Amino acid sequence: MSRFFKVFLYNMKMTLRQREAVFWLILFPILLMTILGFIFRSTGEIRLRVGVVDLDGSGISRSVVEAFRGVEAIEVYEGSEEEERKALKEGDRNGLLIISPGFESAVSSGKAGEVTIIVNRSEVTIAQVTSSTLRGVLEKMGQMISGVPAAIAVREEEEKEVKDFEYIDFMVPGILAMVIMFGGISGYSLEIATYREKGILRRIKVSPVPISSFLVGGVASVLVFSLLQAVVLIAFGVLAFGMKLRGNYLHMAGFVLLGSLSFLALGFLIASLTRNSRSAGLAAQAIGQPMLFLSGIFFSVDWVPIPLKVIARCLPLFYLGEGLRGVMIQGSTLADLWVDLAVLAGVGAAAFAAAVKFFRWE
């Protein structure tokens, strides 16, 4: 038991002597808690973006439109059917409501007036909420008009150009992005910190093995492993859960490789700035964990308050997740996702340049 306490006290002393470790273990969580505390104090309510097309133009149809405007959780956009369908396809609307011609005359004659709703199912985390919300408001409106909910007949239309997704389609790219991130900042790059701590880097520097061969060989192994991970995860998602792949396989591979390089560069920067492997591991976890929960890889950022939306769009993991979803489930081309590509490439280049500047062999 005495040996246990000696080892325990030794490890505690070694940890407390490392200022970086104290920061990542104690001060950083307090800082993060403070930031999130201020952000969530001002949390706003979720608002659905709904397009409304009034093809009847009558007094009763206008009352339906005004009823939707009175719902605090709904932002109403009125326009032509063509404009609103286009906005729905482009993801600018969560749902579309079309009031059919003859709505007032049908209701006045005791029949049900027809209303068509179309839900943007590419937003898998809010599609069901959108559908149930629209139906709920229409049901209450029908009851107010005639005393029975059946005064409004709701028809839900599947827009052919708006693809239907399930949560598994949303989740698998997010898990792949998470694996790529942690593989980059906690994988091979942390081995560099360990090599430096044990003096291996110093010996490699004076050995006949070129430094470039040593580094490039290690990076190449990580990239190959990332591709293998992607294949395994995607195959499991397709075979076990029926995930629908709609993108180009080469584009998927390109995003996986670019994401791996970008986060490897961040990992090298962490290894360059920290003194040893223990501090590097703590720093990688402290950076990776908040990014995991704030970048929206497991949920739509439409649900979060505006401050968190801003934070999410400042994180490279957000763009990796968006890009992977684009090529995997939406069939987007690399040209369509140029912003995601540019951000990942820019972050990787900046991190690599900083890592080179601060890199230490000993």
- 134 Cα distance to chain centroid: 26
pLDDT at position 163: 52
Q: Give Cβ neighbours of residue 135 (< 8 Å, ≥ 6 apart).
A: 117, 154
Q: Is the pLDDT of residue 3 over 60?
A: no
Q: Is the pLDDT of residue 19 over 70?
A: no
Q: Where in the chain is the domain with CATH 3.40.1710.10?
A: 48-157
pLDDT at position 153: 78
pLDDT at position 303: 63
Per CATH, the architecture of 48-157 is what?
A: 3-Layer(aba) Sandwich (3.40)
Quickly list H helices, the chain. 2-17, 19-22, 28-41, 59-69, 81-89, 103-108, 127-146, 167-186, 188-197, 200-205, 211-241, 249-273, 277-294, 306-312, 316-329, 338-358
pLDDT at position 345: 93
Q: Is the pLDDT of residue 53 over 80?
A: yes
List phi, psi (to 5°) of 251: -65, -40
pLDDT at position 162: 47
Q: What is the sign, positive or negative, of the torsion defined by CA atoms of 323, 325, 327, 330?
A: negative
pLDDT tens track for 169-214 = 777 888 888 888 888 887 766 777 777 777 777 776 777 766 666 6
pLDDT at position 125: 62
> What's the pTM?
0.66
Joined together, the tokens standing for residue 208 give 């006949």
Highest-confidence range of 145-149, 275-279, 310-314, by mean pLDDT?
Answer: 310-314
Q: Per mean pLDDT, which range of 75-89, 258-272, 273-287, 292-306 is the poorest?
A: 292-306
Q: How far apart are CA 179 and CA 73, in angstroms?
A: 35
Helices 167-186 and 249-273 cross at an angle (nearest 10°) of 40
Q: Is the pLDDT of residue 342 over 90?
A: yes
Q: How far apart are CA 305 and CA 310, in angstroms?
A: 9
> How many other CB atoms are found less than 10 A from the CB of residue 85?
20
DSSP designation for 301: G
pLDDT at position 180: 87
Q: Per mean pLDDT, which range of 73-87, 155-169, 227-241, 273-287 is the poorest?
A: 155-169
CB 337 within 8 A of CB 247: no
pLDDT tens track for 104-138 = 888 778 788 888 888 877 666 677 777 778 888 87
State which H helix or E strand residue 116 sits in: strand 113-119
pLDDT at position 31: 59
